[in-house]
Structure 1
């Protein structure tokens, strides 16, 4: 048995629904954390079961360490090309989720590597060892400005629709009567 009081929209119910929607939106967009100073640069191998390295290109200074962390199974890290004077060849055995491998890079230059079972699928990565790596602090967006503008417009539209829905449900008139009166 539902009464009119049970079905009406209250401010508390509306705010609760809005807070839930906002939390879902934040969770869907995700965040990126900045790397702590002095720690190794982390490359995720097969994040979420995909066949990619994340990030695809990592930057370190000479003497910097890169740590590869396996997020899915059946991957390796094999050097394709390295600068002259480098002794890095990667880690050829296939490893499973949870495995970690580190290497400290001393020689400046570009190190290109692949996952041999998934190279045909584009599972390739690059380590750039340079004295002046680009500064990647905080969240780095890879979205073009047009996508950001679309996201802002879409969010504003949804907020407007929710606001108008609340107003119409809360204060809307009774349209059951005759409109000619």
Structure 2
């Protein structure tokens, strides 16, 4: 007499489970990809005063129209004030002086060059540029704001997906113990 506990997993059950796990892995990977793309044209991050230096890093940031630039203060006493921008744009920057840990972001819709400064340190050369373009220089490209943890999660999810599909292939090709299990 066979009880339910004695029965092995059927190919269909295994395949259903494997496909469920693969779908979950694809969903996680898709979420990480969606975070990378962001709304519109992606985004980039600019460090404000990294290492206590009076610079923006990178000095020139590239985003697509609809892309977001996030400025992250890494030292205190800085701001982001536009000096020039394309006609029809509405960027007002962030004039208040902020300290380390503060973040400010803006989504750029209008293509063109946006030049900005940190007003307390403009005389020291603390200047930056945002280039909103559909065609960034090849050697520069668009910077990614996707954190390393999201990249790691995407790689792990893809590894799990490949592993589950490999096991499904193995069990479908070579089968399992489907003989009579009489005891």
SS in 2 for 1:87: coil
- Aligned counterpart in structure 2 of residue 79 of structure 1, from 79, 82, 86: 82
Number of matched pairs: 104
Question: Does 1:63 find its partner at 2:62?
Answer: no
Corresponding residue for residue 170 of structure 1:
none
Aligned match of 2:94: 91
Aligned residue number for residue 122 of structure 1: 125
User: How many angstroms does 1:37 deviate by?
Assistant: 3.6
**Gapped runs of 5+ residues in structure 2?**
1-34, 142-183
Q: Could you state the TM-score of these two structures normalised by the residue count of structure 1?
A: 0.54
Q: Provide the residue aligned with 2:114 in structure 1.
A: 111
Aligned to 1:119, the other structure's residue is in SS state helix
Q: CA deviation at 1:132?
A: 1.0
| CA RMSD between the two structures | 2.0
Question: Is 2:37 the counterpart of 1:38?
Answer: yes
CA–CA distance in structure 1, aligned partners of residues 135 and 63 of structure 2: 9
TM-score w.r.t. length of structure 2? 0.54
The reply to whether residue 54 of structure 1 matches residue 49 of structure 2 is no
Structure 1 residue ranges, 4+ long, deviating more than 3 angstroms after superposition: none
SS of the residue aligned with 1:84?
coil
Q: In structure 1, how many angstroms separate the alpha carbons of the residues matched to 2:137 and 2:36? A: 14
Q: For the residues of structure 2 that align with 1:38 and 1:134, how far apart are their CA atoms?
A: 19
Partners of 1:88 and 1:133 lie apart in 2 by: 21
